[in-house]
Chain A
Amino acid sequence: MASKAPKLADLDRIRADLADAQAALAELPGRPLPVGEAIERAAVWVDSQAAAFNGARAARACTEQGADANIADAMSIATRQVGEISVRADVMPMLSWAFGDQLKQRLSDEINALELSDPIAAAHRAPERQRLKAEIARLEVEEEVLIRQLEGNGEQVQRRADAPIEIIVAPDLELAEAA
C-alpha cells in the first residue's frame, strides 16, 4: 500500500491541535470546581470555622463579673492590642457556630446561581494536567517528524521559534519510535 504523502495542511492541523492543548493547559488552574464540590467545600469551611469557636469559654465569660470586654474577647469579636500587634476581630467562628446551617444554605444558593464555565473536579485536575502535557509532547514529536518528511520532499517549512530544542535536534530514529 502506498503511504500517504505528507502535506502542509497536516502541519497546520497539528499546530492547531497543539495550540488548543497549550491553551487548555494554561487555562486549567483557573477552571472552577463543579457546583456539588463547591457546596461541599463551603460546608467544610463553615464547619471548620464553627469548630474554631469555643462556646464554653464564651458562656463562662458571661458568668464572670466585671467588664463586658471579656465576653467580646471570648467571642473573638473584639479587636485586641497584643503589644504592638493589633489582633483583628474575627466574627466568622462565632457566626458559623451560631448560624452554620443558614450560612451553608445561603452559600449553597449562591453557588447554585453561578454560571460556571467548564468546571473540573479537584481530583480530576492533576490527571488532566498530565493528559494535556502528554498530548502536547506527542503533538510536538508528530510536528517535528512531519516537518522532516516535508523537508525530505523538498518543501520549505519553518519551525516554530518556540519549538522544543531537545525534539528538533533528536535523531530521526528516536523520534520515529516516540511518534
Chain B
Amino acid sequence: MSERIFSIDPERVYDLLGQAQTASGTLSTHHESVDELRQRLGAVKARFTLGAERSGAERELVRGTDGQLHEPPADLVKQRDALQLQLQRAQDRQSAAAAELVPVVTLGRRVLEFAKSKRMEVSSYGF
C-alpha cells in the first residue's frame, strides 16, 4: 500500500455532513409519518371490540351510545381499512428510504468523528 497521506478539503467534509444531516432528517420524517398513522389507526381500532358468536367464531363489533354491541358502521370500517393501507404504504416508503439513506448517515457519522479528530468546527452537526 502506498500509505499516501492526503490533505483535507473542508468543503467536502461539510458537504458530506450536510448530506448526512439531510438524510437523517428525511428518515425522521418517514418515522414520524409512520408513527402518526400508527396512532391514528390505533385510535380507530380501539373503537372496535370483538364479540363471540354462538358458533365460537369472533367478529368485530362496536359499542353504541346505548351501551350495546352493534355491527360496525361502514364508514368506520372504511376509515380503518384506508388507514391500514396508508400505514402499509408509509412503511414501504420508510423501508425504501432506509435502504438508501442509512448508509449516507452511517458514512456521515464516520466523517463527523474524523472531522472532530482533526479539530474542525462541526458542533452544528448531529445525526
Contact = CB atoms under 8 A, between A and B. Distances in A.
Interface of A: 130, 133-134, 136-138, 158-161, 163, 165-172, 174-175, 178
Given A158-B100, A160-B103, A163-B107, A168 B12 contact: yes
Chain B CB within 10 A, most for which of A137, A138, A168, A174: A168
Given A159-B107, A171-B12, 10 more contacts: A137-B1, A158-B100, A161-B104, A166-B6, A168-B16, A169-B16, A169-B114, A171-B8, A174-B6, A178-B4
Contacts of B1: 130, 133-134, 136-137
B2 A158 contact: no
Contacts of B4: 137, 178
B3 to A, nearest CB: 8
A137 B9 contact: no
B111 to A, nearest CB: 6
B17 to A, nearest CB: 10
A91 to B, nearest CB: 46
**Dominant secondary structure at the B interface:** helix
B44 interface: no
Interface residues of B, number: 21
Given A133-B1, A134-B1, A178-B2, A161 B9 contact: no
Nearest to A141: B4
Majority secondary structure, A binding face:
helix
Interface of B: 1-9, 12-13, 16, 100, 102-104, 106-107, 110-111, 114
A175 B6 CA distance: 8
Contact of B111 (A130, A133, A165): A165
A134 B6 CA distance: 15
Contacts of A138: 2
Contacts of B6: 166-167, 169-171, 174-175, 178
A96 to B, nearest CB: 42
Nearest to A130: B1
Given A168-B16, A171-B9, A174-B7, A134 B2 contact: yes
A169 B12 contact: yes
B95 to A, nearest CB: 16
Contacts of B16: 168-169
Contacts of A170: 6-9, 12
A169 B107 contact: no
